[in-house]
Amino acid sequence: MSEAPEPLPLAGLVVLDISSFIAAPAAAVTLADFGADVIKIEPPGEGDPHRHNYRSANYPRAEKQVNFPWQLDGRLKRSLALDLKNADARPVLERLIQRADVMIVNFPPATRERLRLTWEDVEPINPRLVYCSLTGYGETGPDRDRPGFDITAYFGRSGILDAARYEGGPPGLSLPAQGDRATAMTLVAAILLGLRRRDRTGKGGWVGTSLYANGVWANGTSAAGALVGAKLPPRRSPDQPRNALTNLYRTGDDRWLQLLMVRDDRLWAPFCKLIGREDLLADPRFTDREERKSRAADLFKELAPIFASKTYGEWERILAGTGIPFGVIERLADVVVDEQARHAGIFADTGNPEVPRTVNNPIRLGFATPRTAGPPPAVGQQSAEILRELAYSETEIAALKKTGALG
């Protein structure tokens, strides 16, 4: 007789997702993927503003507009449309808090205080609750109430955009929600630490992070150097490299190949043979590592036309298995059909015919796989269902709708 399938690791957990936009909701999605019952509390009417981001000019566009961001960040949740500014909504919220295991919020501290949503407000209601908050810049300090988005707090304030720009050029801009998604995984880790502590002590508690802290952590090597007065040298453009053997090259099919030959003391001779330029071994400009670095611009001029003479696919066949580190600067249109992406479980099928595939969360477990998601909820789709679970009568539900507390 076969054994019953093992429950997902977070099955039975009740999570209140009282957050908007991306980082905190993405953390809640990951908990839902692994079995948690995530109740998304959002304003009646328009709901979470992120529901409408797919129309933004900064987002990828398709011939047929489909709400792929909401499939990504709203999946596997149940939507409760509750107006937290309405006094009649407070008893509903407190009843939810009493039965919840985790509560995720990303309102600025001042807003949380005004709505009585701080840890100090909710601890008396449920001392076992793991309360997780996300801010732009931190819970205290002169900028605690400043709105923070990933481009301003994660990438801008952390020094990433300035350090990554080419010398003399303006800072670049990040792509939508890159810092948010990295920060979401920090939130997941913080929540799991809180739950581990609760398992041991029976006590809940506050956990959290900020976009700013995550940006500096991502930029940690450079930031740790700055702490001791070290400075990262400005980045040079590919045609003026400091090291031509750790540089970008354009291939014949207009792709970019990243050469990363950090051990050229061992790989220089094999490399020259592979590219058909054994004459470079005898070139006095490139006889040793220091010469190759000091003459990096000259070496680039030798290598650039060689790489431009073949497609990336040809270079991949030439360099693969040689021990010479290289990689393609991939295009997203190719990533979504990459065979290695399939093996790595990077994308997931859905039960939503409008968005049949989406991005999987990056956590891999040998004993569990994420749930398959259907269409994400409409605003307030499960409001009545959730209130019935809280023992509200149909009359009480109707009264809450009449006052505007419930959508």
What whole-number percentage of the chain has pLDDT above 70?
100
Domain total in the chain: 2
| Residue 233 belongs to some domain of the structure | no
Question: What is the pLDDT at residue 62?
Answer: 83
- Residue 13: helix, strand or coil by DSSP? coil
Q: How many CA atoms lie within 13 A of 41 on its CB side?
A: 28
Residue 238's closest CA among 258, 255, 261, 268? Answer: 258
| Residue 3 belongs to some domain of the structure | no
Q: Looking at the structure, do residues 71 and 196 belong to the same domain, yes or no?
A: yes
> Taking 90 as the threshold, does the pLDDT of residue 214 lie above it?
yes
| Cβ neighbour number for residue 397 with a 10 Å cutoff | 18
| Residue 92 belongs to some domain of the structure | yes
Residue 58's closest CA among 193, 204, 174? Answer: 174
Q: Looking at the structure, do residues 119 and 147 belong to the same domain, yes or no?
A: yes
Q: Looking at the structure, do residues 201 and 258 belong to the same domain, yes or no?
A: no
Residue 306's closest CA among 251, 244, 358, 364? Answer: 251
| Residue 6 belongs to some domain of the structure | no
Residue 37's closest CA among 396, 349, 382? Answer: 382
pLDDT band, residue 2 (cuts 50/70/90): low
pLDDT digits (tens, 9 = 90+) for 177-212: 999 999 999 999 999 999 999 999 999 999 999 999
| Cβ neighbour number for residue 353 with a 10 Å cutoff | 8
Q: Give the pairing of strands 248-250 and 256-259.
A: antiparallel
Q: Looking at the structure, do residues 164 and 291 belong to the same domain, yes or no?
A: no
CB 22 within 8 A of CB 49: no
Domain with residue 203: its CATH number is: 3.40.50.10540
Q: Looking at the structure, do residues 172 and 202 belong to the same domain, yes or no?
A: yes
Element (H, E) at 14: strand 14-18
Q: Give the pairing of strands 256-259 and 357-359.
A: unpaired
The number of angstroms, rounded, from the C-alpha of 24 to the middle of its chain's C-alpha atoms is 10
- Hunting for tokens 């259907």 — which residue is that? 374
> Taking 70 as the threshold, does the pLDDT of residue 271 lie above it?
yes
pLDDT digits (tens, 9 = 90+) for 216-268: 999 999 999 999 999 988 889 999 999 999 999 999 999 999 999 999 999 99
pLDDT digits (tens, 9 = 90+) for 303-351: 999 999 999 999 999 999 999 999 989 999 999 999 999 999 999 999 9
Tell me the DSSP string of 214-257: HHHHHTHHHHHHHHTT--PPPBPPTTS-S-TTSSEEE-TTS-EE
Q: Looking at the structure, do residues 196 and 328 belong to the same domain, yes or no?
A: no
Q: How many CA atoms lie within 13 A of 15 on its CB side?
A: 31
Q: Looking at the structure, do residues 317 and 367 belong to the same domain, yes or no?
A: no
| Residue 235 belongs to some domain of the structure | no
CB 311 within 8 A of CB 253: yes
| Residue 303 belongs to some domain of the structure | yes
CA distances from 314 to 289, 305, 330, 359 (A): 27, 15, 15, 29
- Hunting for tokens 């304030």 — which residue is that? 157
| Residue 390 belongs to some domain of the structure | yes
Could you list the beta-strand ranges (E) of 271-365. Answer: 326-328, 347-349, 357-359
pLDDT digits (tens, 9 = 90+) for 19-30: 999 999 999 999
pLDDT band, residue 213 (cuts 50/70/90): very high
Q: Looking at the structure, do residues 87 and 27 belong to the same domain, yes or no?
A: yes
Tell me the average pLDDT of the chain: 96
CB 128 within 8 A of CB 204: yes
Q: Looking at the structure, do residues 77 and 214 belong to the same domain, yes or no?
A: yes
CB 293 within 8 A of CB 243: yes
Tell me what the mean pLDDT of segment 375-385 comes to.
98
Question: What is the pLDDT at residue 61?
Answer: 86
CA distance 363 to 53: 25
Point out the domain boundary residue: 272, 305, 333.
Answer: 333
CA distance 98 to 118: 15
CA distance 152 to 358: 27
pLDDT band, residue 1 (cuts 50/70/90): low
- Hunting for tokens 């309102």 — which residue is that? 107
| Residue 87 belongs to some domain of the structure | yes
Q: Looking at the structure, do residues 307 and 207 belong to the same domain, yes or no?
A: no
> Taking 70 as the threshold, does the pLDDT of residue 100 lie above it?
yes
Question: Whole-prediction pTM value?
Answer: 0.93
Point out the domain boundary residue: 305, 333, 361.
Answer: 333
Q: Looking at the structure, do residues 379 and 306 belong to the same domain, yes or no?
A: no
Point out the domain boundary residue: 294, 310, 333.
Answer: 333
Q: Looking at the structure, do residues 53 and 154 belong to the same domain, yes or no?
A: yes
Residue 103's closest CA among 77, 134, 129, 136? Answer: 129
CA 164, 169, 171: angle at the middle one, nearest 5? Answer: 45
Provide the residue range defining the domain that includes 367. 14-222+345-403
Domain with residue 325: its CATH number is: 3.30.1540.10
Question: What is the pLDDT at residue 63?
Answer: 81
